C-alpha cells in the first residue's frame, strides 16, 4: 500500500499543475513511472513479450479510466471495482488477452464488455478500428466520454447486449470478450473473419478458462490458455 499512497500524493501534486482545460501546465506526469513498473513487474515478468502490447500498456493512463476512488490503486496487480457490480481486470490479464489476439495494426476489433474503456483504449493503440459494446448504460456513457476526452478517436462505443455481437460492423479480424458466458456465443464465431481470433473467458462461477478460438479455412479450433475469474456475461447470455 506504500506505493499506492505515493501514487495518490503524486497524482494530487500533478493535478495541481494541470490547467482547467486538462492540458499539462508544466508538471511531469508521475504515473509514467508507475506504468513502467507495472509493465516490468506484472506483465513482462509473466511472459508477455510483444513490444507493441508492452508499449500500449505503458502509454494508456489506466488511472484516468477507473473511478476517482480507485485511482491510487490503478497500477496495482489487482482487479478494481468500477461500479454497477462490474470490475476492471488486473493489468496482466488485459495484457495477456491482448497479446493472444496477435494484432499487427490493420485489424478491425470487436470488444464485448466495454466496462471502464481501458481494454478498448489498449486495443485502439494496436488496431485500426475498435468497436465495443457495453450492456450497462451508465458504464457505456462514461466510457464513451472518457475515451473521447483522452483522444482515442478510433473507438466506437455502443450500449447494448453483446451476446449477438455487432453484425452491422462484421466481419472482425479479432474479438475479445471481458465477461464470462457459459459457452462461446455462436454469433461471435460467425462474425469472426477467416484467419481471425476470439479471446474469451468461458465457464460459470470459479470454473472459468480463458480460451482462444481461431477461425481457419478448415474450421474452428479452440485452445485453453489458463484459468481466470471474470464477472458473468449478462443479458441474453443468461438464458436457460
Q: For the domain made up of 2-238, give the CATH fold.
A: Rossmann fold (3.40.50)
In the block, which residue shows the cell 438464458? 239
Provide the residue-wise pLDDT of the chain in tens; the chain has 240 residues.
555 556 655 554 444 444 333 445 455 677 899 999 999 999 999 999 999 999 999 999 999 999 999 999 999 999 999 999 999 999 999 999 999 999 999 999 999 999 999 999 999 999 999 999 999 999 999 999 999 999 999 999 999 999 999 999 999 999 999 999 999 999 999 999 999 999 999 998 778 999 999 999 999 999 999 999 999 999 999 875
Q: What is the pTM of this model?
A: 0.89
All structural domains of the chain with their residue ranges: 2-238
Q: Could you tell me the CA-to-CA distances from 13 to 6, 35, 202 in Å, in that order?
A: 11, 17, 42
Cα radius of gyration rounded to whole Å, the chain: 18
Beta-carbon contacts of residue 70 (< 8 Å; ≥ 6 apart): 80, 81, 82
Query: Which residues are known catalytic residues?
Result: 89
Amino acid at each position: 500500500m506504500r506505493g499506492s499512497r505515493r501514487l495518490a500524493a503524486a497524482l494530487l501534486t500533478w493535478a495541481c499543475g494541470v490547467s482547467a482545460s486538462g492540458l499539462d501546465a508544466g508538471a511531469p506526469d508521475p504515473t509514467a513511472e508507475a506504468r513502467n513498473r507495472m509493465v516490468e513487474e506484472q506483465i513482462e515478468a509473466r511472459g508477455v513479450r510483444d513490444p507493441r502490447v508492452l508499449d500500449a500498456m505503458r502509454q494508456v493512463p489506466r488511472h484516468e479510466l477507473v473511478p476517482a476512488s480507485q485511482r491510487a490503486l490503478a497500477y496495482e496487480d489487482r482487479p478494481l471495482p468500477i461500479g454497477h457490480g462490474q470490475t476492471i481486470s488486473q493489468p496482466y490479464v488485459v495484457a495477456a488477452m491482448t497479446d493472444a489476439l496477435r494484432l499487427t495494426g490493420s485489424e478491425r476489433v470487436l470488444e464485448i464488455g466495454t466496462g471502464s474503456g481501458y481494454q478498448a483504449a489498449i486495443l485502439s493503440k494496436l488496431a485500426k478500428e475498435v468497436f465495443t459494446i457495453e450492456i450497462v448504460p451508465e458504464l457505456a456513457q462514461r466510457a464513451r466520454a472518457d475515451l473521447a476526452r483522452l483522444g482515442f478517436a478510433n473507438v466506437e462505443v455502443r450500449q447494448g447486449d453483446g451476446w449477438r455481437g455487432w453484425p452491422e460492423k462484421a466481419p472482425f479480424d479479432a474479438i475479445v470478450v471481458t465477461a464470462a458466458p457459459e459457452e462461446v456465443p455462436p454469433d461471435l464465431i460467425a462474425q469472426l473473419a477467416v484467419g481471425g481470433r476470439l479471446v474469451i473467458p468461458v465457464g460459470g462461477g470459479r470454473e472459468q478458462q480463458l480460451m482462444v478460438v481461431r477461425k481457419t479455412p478448415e474450421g474452428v479450433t479452440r485452445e485453453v490458455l489458463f484459468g481466470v475469474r471474470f464477472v458473468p456475461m449478462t443479458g441474453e447470455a443468461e438464458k436457460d
